[in-house]
Amino acid sequence: MEQLNTEVVLSGVRFRNPVIPASGTFGFGQEFTRYYDLNLLGGISFKGTTIEPRFGNPTPRIAECQAGMLNSVGLQNPGAEHVRDVELPALRKIFNGPLIANISGFSEEDYVRAVEILTGAEQVALLEINISCPNVRHGGMAFGTSPEAAAAITRAVKKVATKPVYMKLSPNVTDITAIAKACEDAGADGLSLINTLLGMRIDVRRRRPVLANKMGGYSGPGIFPVALRMVYQVTGAVRIPVIGMGGVSTARDVIEMMMAGARAVQVGAANLVDPLACRSIVEALPEEMASLGIHALSEIERVS
């Protein structure tokens, strides 16, 4: 097979391929080292980080369902300073590619402070600002459902960020392009989408919600067509790069997402079903490219 070029570039940052484990599904990478060499990945979006440590939501907070899963983990993490001082140096020992810092908050000040802590970390190449988490109260998705609020957070973090800022958008809105354009106009360097869809399951025998938090984020193959549609809509409305995600589980999904306009792709729920998912996708990419006559992923054009 001829040498095929899987490299992609996001805001001047080179990724050896477009496959990036999504935040919240890959921890800080340590758990996956027993399965494969992480350096075959394009990059890693590490676990969502807040200013203070968070235990997360009460259990049960995971529920299986058809074509995917529900989660209501609630941003469990050890806090931004611990991530900077402990987790990132440990991750650098096992992975030499670009890292994406996924940052969440409950106020504008939270986001700004977390960015101040993590933007200077040597290992961090991009900042992914999560304004779309459906699993926490008093913040998260609330910022991502209003163009004005999304723009305000974008402007605030851009003032202190020394790395490119990508805003992670919620699908739980009427018009995602309005949110995307507001972020672009406020100075965002790129966008990530989509986060999970808000969902629910009921235990009919016990007659109560399966999740302790009642509702959670739905992810998995079932949301792929929705994610693809939203990526296509957003890439037709903005000029900044987009990282696509939502139900990606095969190499063909990656290429399809890129044909919708995404420059790179994150893989989420598939990692929780099969810890080898990202490796399998990366290994299958060249054959998939060859079958479609694609010599370099950078040549893929958004379909009309």
Q: What pLDDT was estimated at residue 93?
A: 95
pTM over 0.85: yes
Which residues, 6+ apart, have CB-to-CB distance to 206 below 8 Å? none
8-299: CATH topology is TIM Barrel (3.20.20)
Among 128-137, 181-190, 277-286, the range scoring the smallest mean pLDDT is: 128-137
The whole-angstrom separation of Cα 179 and Cα 170 is 9
- Say which residue the tokens 């699908």 belong to: 171
d(CA 125, CA 211): 35
CA–CA separation, 107 vs 296, rounded Å? 42
- Average pLDDT for 291-300: 96
pLDDT at 135 over 60: no
| Contact between 231 and 247 (Cβ < 8 Å) | no
pLDDT score at 68: 94
pLDDT band at 25 (very low <50, low <70, confident <90, very high): very high
pLDDT in tens, 189-213: 999 999 999 999 999 999 999 999 9
Helix (H) and strand (E) counts in the chain:
10, 16
Distance CA 196, CA 219 (A): 5
Q: Are 41 and 283 contacting, i.e. CB atoms less than 8 angstroms apart? A: no
> Cβ-count burial of 212 within 10 angstroms (0-12 exposed, 13-18 middle, 19+ buried)?
middle
Contact partners, residue 128, CB within 8 Å, separation at least 6: 23, 45, 100, 101, 102, 103, 166, 167, 168, 192, 243
Q: Is the peptide bond before 60 cis (omega within 30 degrees of 0)?
A: yes
Q: What percent of the chain has pLDDT over 90?
A: 89
Q: Among the listed ranges 34-48, 131-145, 225-239, which one has the minimum average pLDDT value?
A: 131-145
CA distance 36 to 95: 11
| Interacting residues of 54 by C-beta distance below 8 A, sequence separation 6+ | 74, 75, 76, 77, 79
Q: Which residues belong to the active site? A: 133
pLDDT for 140: 54
| CA pair distance 293, 229, nearest whole angstrom | 24
Angle between helices 147-160 and 108-118 (to 10 degrees): 30
- How do 8-10 and 208-209 pair as beta strands? unpaired
CA atoms within 13 A on the CB side of 171: 24
pLDDT reading at 1 higher than 70: no
C-alpha–C-alpha distance, residues 109 and 196, integer Å: 24
